[in-house]
Structures are given as structure tokens and as C-alpha cells.
Structure 1
Amino acid sequence: MLNKQQIETFKNDGILILENFFSEEEVVAWRKQALAYHDYPITDDDWRAAIRKVNSNAFKLIDEPTPYTHPKMQALYESLAAGIIWNGENELVARAPEMHREWLGARTPHLDFPVYDSIRTLVNSVFYLADVDPYGGPFMYWPGSHLDSWEYFKESPKDYMSQGDLSQDQIFERITSRVSREVQSFSGKAGDLMLWHSLILHSASVNKSNSARLAVIGRWGNMLKNGETRFDFNKSIWDEWKFNGQDLPVLQ
């Protein structure tokens, strides 16, 4: 499904954005489900109260798009790591409108360590259920930082999953000090899909729009066998991957 150029972009940047990946019909149906789950908030205060009240981890979309249930996502993930039996889950992350807050850009860069799951996360996803502009609470990321993370953990493997003496914040700060590229934001239309390597530094941001930011974030990988480590950082960062790019026009 992906061509060789797109796979090289993903390998170099750790990010790949596919516009209009999900159909309008799918996104409209999922947005209705998300609004109903939050009991149809209207005002900023309504949204803040609704987000505090519900458990985002408990929400599941009907016809949920995953690499093992959604045909288009299945083909997409097969292009990146052929033969993997994908596991993981989606999480609906809503951000209330905060039009009067100061825009500070990205917050503190971090990684998502799958502490409570026996899973080796590889390629994660994020898409929006409504359009998100550059100041509307977009997902922020540092392109290429997956390579910096890998090199850091190669030198200090115990710091992955915070198994050593350093806290997560200290680890993320040390990786951030190595990053040379500027932070970017994933803003776009409802239904645009962004893939991101699980070792990409990323961050939340303030939603200064007049409507809630509704993002579906998926974390995907393969299950670990008994006693298996998540990564051997002495190997290539792509050791667990099997790319299957085709000489096709660029997929939008």
C-alpha cells in the first residue's frame, strides 16, 4: 500500500502523514459516538467537566479502526512490518477548548513506555474526528527523534522503560538534548492519519480553538514471548520490521 518513497520518509522522519485516509462517513459516525460518550458538551466548561468525568480508556469505537480489523489499516501496516500479528489499542483523547490560554507550543517532550502491556510497540497512529488547526491542540512531534532515542538507549539500555536509576523525566531530557530538528505539529482534516514510530519524542499542546479537539491515538506492536526483551539496542532500529514498499504513486 505504501511506496518506497513513503517508507524512506517514515524511516528518516519516524512520521508519515496520509491525508483523507478514513472516509467522511467513517469519521462522521465515530465523531457522533465520541460526542455521545461525553454527553454532548456545548460550552468550554461542559467539555472540561465531561473529560474529567469519563474514562478515555473505557471508550471503544464501533467498527474500531485497528491494524487487525480495518482492511485499509491492515494493508498499511503490512507495508511497514509484514507478517506481524498486531496488538494494541486505541484511546480517545479529548482536549477542551481553551481560547483564552496562552499558546506555548509543545510541552515537555516524552515517549510512551508500555509499562503495563506485554507488547513491543513499533508504529503508533493518531487521527482526528474534527479538523484541527495549528493552534487547536495538535499532536506535536520531533521528526527524526526516533533515531536519537535508539542511539541513547543503545548507550544506556536500562533507561528504556526506566529500569535504571534515572526517572522518566531525566531520560526524556537527555534524549531531547540530542535532537537537532525543530518540533512540528500534526494539524489537518478529520480523517487524516499520522503514523509515528514508538520512539518519537512527542508532546501535547493547548487547544485555542472554539471546539474540542478529538484525537484517537493508537499504540501498536507485537506481543512479547516469555522472557523476551522489548528491544536489542545493539541491533538495527529496524530489526523487528519487514518493509514491503512498492513502486507506486505516492499514497495521499
Structure 2
Amino acid sequence: MNGQVADIKSTAVDRQLGGLATILSLLGAKSFEHEEYVARFQRDGFLYLPGFYSDVEIAEVLAATETLLAAGDCPVTVDSLESNQRHYWRHIRDVADNLSYKFNDLYLFEPAIRELAMGKRLSSILKALMGDKAVLCNSLSFAVGSQQPPHVDSLYMTPQTPNKLLATWIALEDVHSDAGPMSYYPGSHLIPRYIFADGSRHVIDSEMPDWHAYMDSQVKVRGLEQKTFLAKKGDVFIWHSELLHGGSAIDNPALTRRSLVSHYYCERDCRRLRSDLQAMHDGYWMRRAPAGVPCQPGDFTESSFPEANYLARYGDVAKAVRAGRVKSGYQHWLNDGCAEGRLV
């Protein structure tokens, strides 16, 4: 990435302020604490919470993740960071390098990950920033930096209500400057939204060169500076759906950058969409089918086929199974679904 890069590090002052906020919260000053967080978030487009999680909490999540991914019937899907192709992890883990993939929606399967992404303290802060209860709707687990070009999340996860989308980045280890740390532009959330040819704010791939040109010009006109987040293990970074951010280049491929990224919609929008919301602390997590994968008949036996996920994804198939017109989701997929291009 070009331009002057200013590093943000976990300074002693930051950590003292984080400790003070915790003390004030324990003394019943949570409202004051959250008002300060909201003011900073509205001004900067992000909120940095140093040392938010302990080494013990991080270790629990790393151990739970390892156990989940090693299970024989592991239900997790992954996306290649090189080709962007999606697979079931259990189909490729014997020949794949887990550093080359991002792991989708582990929160659906592992309570420890939900607790990290939607814990008591964090869910309370997200509620204050959202102005509504937050709903954990996806998670992405990385072992290395994404090296993703600068973007804003609302392009791809466009919320029904503008600005009602939040994201968190939780450091599962200390981040080295050569490991492709996260980069971002403070204040960029205030840039007026780009409107695509169809009148929406949702991405149209063919127009992305125009979007990038528009954002580059806005960054220059507003004098915004790119910064780099050199996180310490347990740090949390919350950002606005319109904050321009990305992943820096990895200068040392031997370095990892383990992290958990999560996204949140607001309760009001999710209720409108009739999402399946599971109460958790001061918010919710969304129960849904995992991301679908294009598969071939030889990829599954009847016992290994993710029957519940397939029926949850395709209501017409579930209805046919209940009516006795089809024996199972697996039989539907073998007979018709695969040929129709349905995902598993």
C-alpha cells in the first residue's frame, strides 16, 4: 500500500485508560464509559479496546478451534485466500495448509468462539455503538493476514438500515509489522456513500474501479491518513461499516496473524427478516445454515451428508421431505439438487 503509514500500538497509556474504564464500570459508571466510547466511535469510525481479553480466554478459543477442525465430521467451510474457492474443510485438510484459508462461521459450532465474539462486556459495548442490540451474524477466522485491498464492509454485507452494521477484529496473538497487519483510514466513515448504477449501495463488481477512484479522491481531498493496527494478543478493534480498511502486504510469509473477525447486524433489521435469533448476554447470535459449498456426488455418503443444513437452506426440499415426496435431502441432492447447482 502506498502513502505514509502511521502505526497504532498498544501503549501503556491506552492500557491504563482501558483499566480505568473497567474500574469505572465496576463502580456503576458503565453509562459514562459507553458515552465516551460512542463519542469516539462516531468521531473516528472505530474503537480500540486494548487488552480486552486475557491470555487464558484466548487460549481457550484456540484450543476449541483446534478440536473443532480436527473432528472427523467437521462441518466447517473454508475459503482459499488465493483462489477464493470454497470447500468443506474435512474434504481438503489432509492435503491443505490451513494458513492458506479463512474459516467461515466457526461461531455456529463452537460456544467458546461465540463467547469471545458476543461476550457480556463486548455485547454491551456493541449495543451502545449500534443503538440497538447487536446480532452476531458471521465470523471469519484467520491464521495469516488477508492482504485484502481497501474496502468498506457495507459493500458486501449491505444492512437494511444504513450504518446498522458493525465489525470486530480480535487479536489471537501479537501482530508483527511484517505479518500483514490491518490498515485503516480514521474518519473515512464520514465519506458520502458511493451510489452504484442500480441506485443501491451494494457492490456491482464491474463498477469497482470507479468506486476505488472515488474513494481515493475523497481520501485525498479530506486529508485522511492510512494507519496500521499493530495489535497485541487480546486487543479488540471495532469498526463502522463505512470505515475504509484492508490488509497490508505480508512481508514475511513465515509469520502468522491469528485473528477472529465478526460482523453484526441490528436486532430490528434481523427481526424484520425473521432471522433465528438466539439470546446471548446483551445481544443475540444468528442461528443459520453455514455457507454453502458447490459439491459433487462423490463428496458425501448418506451418513456424512449435512442433512440439516441442506434442509435449512432449501425450504422447498424440506417441505417435500415432510410431505413424503422425497426420502431425504441427500436423495434430493443426488437426484436433482446437484444437477440444479444447489450448494451443500
Name the TM tier (shorter chain): 0.5 to 0.7
User: What 5-or-longer segments of structure 2 have no aligned partner?
Assistant: 1-29, 71-93, 274-344
The two structures, once aligned, show a CA RMSD in angstroms of 3.5
The aligned counterpart of 1:131 is: 174
- Letter matched to residue 74 of structure 1: S
Normalising by structure 1, we get a TM-score of 0.68
Partners of 1:181 and 1:59 in 2: CA distance: 35
Q: 1:20 to 1:217 in 2, by over 3 A?
A: same
| 8 Å CA contact retained: 1:146, 1:200 | yes
Q: 1:64 to 1:114 in 2, by over 3 A?
A: farther
The aligned counterpart of 2:188 is: 145
- Where in structure 2 are the equivalents of 1:231-246 lying within 5 Å? none
Residue 104 of structure 2 corresponds to residue 57 of structure 1: yes
The aligned counterpart of 2:259 is: 215
Q: Which has the larger radius of gyration?
A: 2
Partners of 1:27 and 1:68 in 2: CA distance: 11
Instruction: State the 1:19 CA deviation.
Output: 0.6
The aligned counterpart of 2:208 is: 168
Q: Out of 81-90 and 173-182, give the one that drifted further.
A: 81-90
- Letter matched to residue 122 of structure 2: M
| 8 Å CA contact retained: 1:137, 1:204 | yes
Instruction: State the 1:129 CA deviation.
Output: 0.6
- Where in structure 2 are the equivalents of 1:1-252 lying within 5 Å? 1=30, 2-35=33-66, 49-52=97-100, 56-60=103-107, 61-65=110-114, 69-95=118-144, 108-113=149-154, 115=156, 121-148=164-191, 151-153=192-194, 158-162=199-203, 167-179=207-219, 180-208=223-251, 210-222=254-266, 223=269, 225=272
CA displacement 1:24-59 (0-9 Å, x = unmatched): 2111112234455677xxxxxx9x82234x661153
Instruction: State the 1:85 CA deviation.
Output: 4.7
Instruction: State the 1:118 CA deviation.
Output: 6.8
The aligned counterpart of 1:244 is: none
Partners of 2:250 and 2:179 in 1: CA distance: 4
Partners of 1:93 and 1:197 in 2: CA distance: 20
Partners of 2:137 and 2:193 in 1: CA distance: 25
- Letter matched to residue 144 of structure 2: R
| 8 Å CA contact retained: 1:87, 1:119 | no
Greater relative contact order, per chain length (Cα 8 Å cut-off, separation 6+): 1
Instruction: State the 1:111 CA deviation.
Output: 1.7
| 8 Å CA contact retained: 1:68, 1:86 | no
Partners of 1:87 and 1:68 in 2: CA distance: 7
| 8 Å CA contact retained: 2:102, 2:140 | no
The aligned counterpart of 1:239 is: none
CA displacement 1:204-242 (0-9 Å, x = unmatched): 12334543111111111123536xxxxxxxxxxxxxxxx
| 8 Å CA contact retained: 1:139, 1:202 | yes
| 8 Å CA contact retained: 2:103, 2:141 | yes
Look up the SS of the partner of 1:167 in the other structure. Answer: helix
Aligned residues: 208
Q: Out of 213-222 and 81-90, give the one that drifted further.
A: 81-90
| 8 Å CA contact retained: 1:109, 1:202 | yes
Partners of 2:65 and 2:166 in 1: CA distance: 24
Partners of 2:251 and 2:174 in 1: CA distance: 13
CA displacement 1:143-165 (0-9 Å, x = unmatched): 111101xx1347989251036x9
- Letter matched to residue 12 of structure 1: R
Over the matched positions of the two proteins, sequence identity in percent amounts to 20
| 8 Å CA contact retained: 2:167, 2:261 | yes
| 8 Å CA contact retained: 1:64, 1:70 | no
Look up the SS of the partner of 1:77 in the other structure. Answer: helix
